[in-house]
A and B are shown apart, each in its own frame.
Chain A
Amino acid sequence: MMCHDARLLLHAYLDDELDAAQSVAMTRHMQACADCTAHYADFAQLRQAMTQGSLYRRAPDALRAQWTAAMPAAAAPASSPRPRRAPIALAMAAGFAAALLFATPLWFYASRQQAGGADTGLSEVVSSHIRSLQQQHLMDVVSTDQHTVKPWFDGKLDFAPRVKDLAGAGYPLVGGRLDALEGHSVAALVYKHGLHIINLYQWPVSTDAADTAATQWHGYNVLCWTRGRMRYVAVSDLNQSELRQFVLAFQDDATPVMR
């Protein structure tokens, strides 16, 4: 073997990617060639220095928390990296199953397959929700009450969104922002329930004929309905029955709409 070939193969040798014959040839060459051996020593030293760990960039906690907390119904008991979470996750999964069993006819469960990414509308809603969870995107107007949120939308949309304060029912309104879904400009109201965020999207439609549906997509629950010529989509990591409680609270006529 010549030095020129050895210089290239040196790296594959260091990486243990040579076959047995090449490996033997390299070893022989280095036994006879001090120059290549010195090179090898340099690269081995370089590798040693690089793998000491301080160059590895671990994901920030906030990013990790956002993605692991984002999927509570996604009980992965066998492979969960943090076993302490498993009981809660399992309980939620059980709750979700119960919600399915006792589902009232008002909600039909649309089991949509994701084959071929056909369900782009749903993935768009959930993607929008996840994006909104990034701190700087969550809300344009931060508010503790509808009196700030409602006027904020004035002039920004060609319709007046229905804004309700649901703090009394356990869902404080924390803000609002403009978003776009399925080609519409939509109003997004941001509600909180404990540590969970609910995005409620709404935009006007021409009829009230559109279906009411409850779906789940990668651990997020999505409820859609139409009322008073307004299409509503609620999305959250709350489980389905909890999200339905929120929707019922929003639909409750006893709660006044802000005018």
Chain B
Amino acid sequence: MPNKLHRHPPNPQASASASFEGVVLPHLDAAYNLARWLARDDTDAQDVVQEALLRALRYYASFHGGDARVWLLAIVRNTFYSLRMKVPADGVHEAFDDEMHAPPDEQPGPEAQTLLALDVGSLQRALENLPHPLREAIVLRELEECSYKEIASITGQKIGTVMSRLARARERLRLELSCPSKEARQHDVP
């Protein structure tokens, strides 16, 4: 510990930036991964991360320890939605009603396991087709390995909401990836 103290530059601001680099920048991949899945475009994702890091720098003084990854991912998410507001590229603002998307009551069918198309291309398409609230939940859970509590804190939702969104995200992915898929049917159309 004394060694570590000795090696720090004798300047509070230099230390602050040192800790920004040491504390926040290690989560750059996590930030980009979330931004990329939300934006679905490389350039937009870079803009989102760039802006999010600038905001993180600006707010860094108000970050009082805790999980820097969760803190940064919440900023990335807010940045994405605020930048998206400015450009109505996505068309109509997608209103998301948690009640509306209740999981479909499965018909009591055959208990056999569904055959799923799980190649990367199909998975990617299915993920990109999810509405944003479901997509961010599943990306944070499966790719970022966040706990429900972390997802709740990043997305500003209750843990119960996180749980049901994850359930719905997976139900939809399962439906979309089931082998006699809609896609196959579309190919039949002349």
Contacts and interface: CB of A to CB of B under 8 A. Distances in A.
A146 B143 CA distance: 50
A75 B40 CA distance: 35
A17 B116 contact: no
Given A38-B111, A57-B33, A127-B54, A76 B22 contact: yes
Contact of A74 (B20, B49, B123): B20
A1 interface: no
Nearest to B105: A4
Interface in B121-148: 123-124, 127, 138, 141-143, 145, 147-148
By secondary structure, the B interface counts as: helix
A63 interface: yes
Contacts of A114: 13, 16, 60-61
Nearest to A81: B26
A216 B11 contact: yes
A111 B16 CA distance: 13
A79 interface: yes
A127 to B, nearest CB: 5
Nearest to A64: B28
B127 to A, nearest CB: 7
Interface stretch (A47-55, A152-160, A195-203, A244-252): A47-55
A59 B163 contact: no
A50 B123 contact: yes
B56 to A, nearest CB: 10
Contacts of A228: none
A80 to B, nearest CB: 7
By secondary structure, the A interface counts as: helix
B37 A57 contact: yes
A96 B9 contact: yes
B53 A57 contact: no
Interface stretch (A7-15, A176-184, A186-194): A7-15
B168 to A, nearest CB: 9
B166 interface: yes
B148 A68 contact: no
A80 B22 contact: yes
Given A76-B21, A96-B9, A49 B33 contact: no
A2 interface: no
A174 interface: no
Interface string B11-41: 1111011111111011011011100110000
A79 B108 contact: no
B61 A117 contact: yes
Interface string B98-134: 0000010110110111101010100110010000000
A58 interface: yes
B163 A17 contact: yes
B17 A218 contact: yes
Contact of A75 (B7, B116, B145, B164): B7
A7 B118 CA distance: 22
A117 B59 contact: yes
Interface in A91-105: 93, 96-97, 100
B108 to A, nearest CB: 7
Given A34-B111, A38-B112, A111 B12 contact: yes
17 contacts: A7-B167, A8-B163, A11-B163, A17-B163, A46-B118, A54-B120, A57-B36, A58-B33, A63-B50, A67-B25, A71-B17, A100-B11, A114-B13, A114-B61, A126-B57, A131-B54, A218-B13
Interface of A: 4, 7-8, 10-12, 15, 17, 34-35, 37-39, 41-43, 45-47, 49-51, 54-60, 63-64, 67-68, 71, 73-81, 90, 93, 96-97, 100, 111-112, 114-117, 123, 126-127, 130-131, 134, 216-219
Given A34-B111, A50-B143, A218-B20, 6 more contacts: A10-B167, A12-B148, A38-B113, A67-B53, A75-B8, A216-B13
